[in-house]
Amino acid sequence: MSEGDTGELFENWTVQMRKGVLDLCILKALAGGECYGYALVKTLVAIPGIGVAEGSIYPLLSRLKKQGLVTTRLEESSEGPARKYYRLTPAGKALGEEMQGYFQEMAKGVNGLPDFTVPSSPLPKKPATPRRN
């Protein structure tokens, strides 16, 4: 693989990273309290590096509701159609906190990795393990 091919690999990796952290972003955004869908979408779309499309958030919210992590309620709005509000359940709050802790530890570990350099002398060879007959 040539250096020029890494752009596609990087793009695929970033897509997987965004998918992996989007649930965490939703749970973290709702940890501050109830929020209606459109405001939540605007908050998530504005997160640098997430690059999520508005239309992809509502299916995630629906899945989180089916999993018992969020609840919803409708409220009439004088500005148009009724608004759907999302709120974390106790299970959603607990999972969000657990995910946040894991994410922070993982980021800390990755950020703490030293740049790898090739040792100036070869590593010692392991002694051969005698075979049992």
Residue pLDDT, tens place only, 1-17: 565 678 889 888 888 88
131: helix, strand or coil: coil
Question: Which domains are seen in the chain, by residue range?
Answer: 12-102 (1.10.10.10)
What is the reported pLDDT for 127?
Answer: 64
Query: Is the pLDDT confidence value at 115 over 70?
Result: yes
Query: Is the pLDDT confidence value at 131 over 70?
Result: no
72: helix, strand or coil: strand
**Tokens 């010692």 — which residue?**
124
75: helix, strand or coil: strand
What is the reported pLDDT for 122?
Answer: 65
pTM metric for this prediction: 0.76
What is the reported pLDDT for 86?
Answer: 97
74: helix, strand or coil: strand
Residue pLDDT, tens place only, 48-90: 888 788 888 999 999 999 999 999 999 998 888 999 999 999 9
- Would you tell me the crossing angle of helices 6-30 and 54-66 to the nearest 10 degrees? 50
pLDDT band at 18, cuts 50/70/90? confident
